[in-house]
Chain A
Amino acid sequence: MLVLTRKLGESIAIDDHIKIVVVQIKGKQVRLGIKAPKETKIHREEVYDAIQKQNSEASQSDINDLYKLSEELKKK
């Protein structure tokens, strides 16, 4: 992994069109500004973790829970 040191207000460029600026440093928090073309997807990594966890739980679904759901949905 490439590691760079930046000061407040400084930035790094990725390729020709992506720019990441250090906007604010407050204690243990760093605020970043990201300038990128519209088609670039930017997510916090937690989003991917949450999706993986949801997929993993879904993949082990118990078919009996689905029968239970079906019964529950029939109730008026």
Chain B
Amino acid sequence: MKVKTTRFGELDVDKKDVITFKEGILGFESLKKFFVVDPGDQTLILWLQSVENSSVAFPIIEPKIFKPDYVVKLLPIELNSLELENLADANVYTVITIPPTVTEMSANMKAPIVINNKTKVARQIVLQDNKLEVRHKMYMELKKYIVNFSSDDSKRTRVELAISVDNATATEVEVENHNEERVSRINSNTAIDLQ
């Protein structure tokens, strides 16, 4: 299907890639359908684009990239609402804001976006952990990662290892599938970066 967007022009989106937020996103409760746009640039930032409103798109990034020790703990009721048994079948993103002074960029660690990869059901979940910040300044963390990643091939191995640890709770088969998917995507980003 064709979707008009103000930032990326008209995009052809496969119906199976459409993500459903049954409750919308906080402050955007009326918007239920989104999809992920990967501009493929070196910032590793993706966009969560609304199907229903061409001008609404949230820049998002996987928190593991800049904060490897970030852990999302969901309650059984939350996993249930996402049709998940555990987080192995999910992608977790944080919403970021990029002000004109870009080094002041921040990520919302308190309320990550969790997407079920299989059913494409998603929610923005407010975590109970009071230490998590809504505006976590992360420019330096991201820069550090990107500089390391593009200048040293050994770091790529380290990333893959980090992902394996991340999925330690999943069954073996699921871990393998999931890893392949994630690693290939990260590698494809690097490929673009090196051009």
Question: Interface residues, chain A, CB within 8 Å of chain B?
Answer: 38-39, 41-43, 47-48, 50-63, 65-66, 68-70, 72-74, 76
Question: A69 and B95 in contact (CB under 8 A), knowing A54-B135, A61-B59?
Answer: no
Partner of A56, one of B27, B77, B134: B27
B59 and A39 contacting across the interface, CB-CB below 8 Å: no
B159 to chain A, nearest CB (A): 17
Interface of A is mostly: helix
B97 and A54 contacting across the interface, CB-CB below 8 Å: yes
A76 to chain B, nearest CB (A): 7
Q: Which residues of A contact B128 (CB under 8 A)?
A: 41-43
CB neighbors of A among B90-114 (8 A) = 95-100, 102-103, 105-106, 108, 110-111
Q: How many residues of B contact A (CB 8 A)?
A: 40
Q: Which residues of A contact B100 (CB under 8 A)?
A: 62, 65, 68
B98 and A69 contacting across the interface, CB-CB below 8 Å: yes
CB neighbors of A among B118-152 (8 A) = 124, 126, 128, 134-135, 142-143, 146-147
CB neighbors of A among B60-113 (8 A) = 75-77, 95-100, 102-103, 105-106, 108, 110-111
